[in-house]
Amino acid sequence: MNDTRTKILDVADDLVQRVGLNAMSYKHISDAVGIRKASIHHHFPKKENLVDELLQRCASSYGSRYQQIVDDGTNAPKKLRSLAAVFEEGLSNKKLCLIGSISTCQNTLHDSSCHILKNTIQNTVSIFSAVFCQGRHEKSLTFTGTDEEAAFAFFSLLVGAQTIARSHGGIELFSQAAASYISGLQG
């Protein structure tokens, strides 16, 4: 990937996580990167092209990061705390989860973006569900429903707590919410 394209994606990613997808414009990106809007259109003719690539990049980078946590040799509660720490780190940088941020704009997304978003959420839930499966087998987590349902609830908690904590309570409130939820799973 060339440097200009990477810079565009980096700036767009940052803007979406800070101000939201619908508040971000090509003008914001061009000002931040120091290029003309036409240069952005050269790489991403439509905003939907940019959104698709942001989602794919997020799925790859965070998917790998989550998988490393899941593959760690620790117990399930520790893995859940490590997954929550990824979201806490974003919040400490005044950023929301890209998937959560783009999900709030789902009604204005192009079909391809909706498809990628849905797949990314499902892949994230699948990765997280391995932790719940481990927790059920090692008896370190107690929950009802399937591993996927528990993973979806945990992912939803992290995205929602991050969003609300950004406006009310900050990192401390997020940390308390995540810790309380994980503690509740430990019976």
Q: What pLDDT does residue 127 have?
A: 98
In a domain, 16, yes or no: no
At a CB cut-off of 8 Å and minimum separation 6, what does 8 contact?
Answer: 29, 33, 35, 40, 43, 44, 50
Q: What pLDDT does residue 169 have?
A: 76
Q: Nearest CA to 158 among 105, 109, 89, 102?
A: 89
**138-175: per-residue pLDDT in tens?**
999 999 999 999 999 999 999 999 999 998 878 999 99
Q: Nearest CA to 142 among 127, 130, 132, 152?
A: 132
What's at 71, amino acid-wise? D
In a domain, 147, yes or no: yes
CA-CA distances (angstroms) from residue 156 to 15, 87, 119? 22, 12, 15
Contact 86, 113 (CB under 8 A): no
Average pLDDT, the chain: 95
Q: Nearest CA to 138 among 66, 65, 78?
A: 78
Give the count of domains, the chain.
1
Please tell me the pTM assigned to this model.
0.92
In a domain, 11, yes or no: no
In a domain, 75, yes or no: yes
In a domain, 8, yes or no: no
* 163: its two tokens: 């969003």
Torsion of CA 78, 83, 87, 88, to 10 degrees: 20
Q: What pLDDT does residue 124 have?
A: 97
Cα 27 from Cα 30, distance rounded (Å): 5
Q: What is the CATH number of the domain that holds 159?
A: 1.10.357.10
In a domain, 59, yes or no: yes
Q: How far is CA 130 from the centre of its chain?
A: 18
Q: What pLDDT does residue 2 have?
A: 76
In a domain, 36, yes or no: no
67-71 CB contacts, 8 Å cutoff, 24+ apart: 67/127, 70/127, 70/128, 70/130, 70/131
Give the DSSP letter of residue 108: G
Domain span holding position 110: 47-185
* 140: its two tokens: 């370190």
In a domain, 21, yes or no: no
Cα 103 from Cα 21, distance rounded (Å): 9
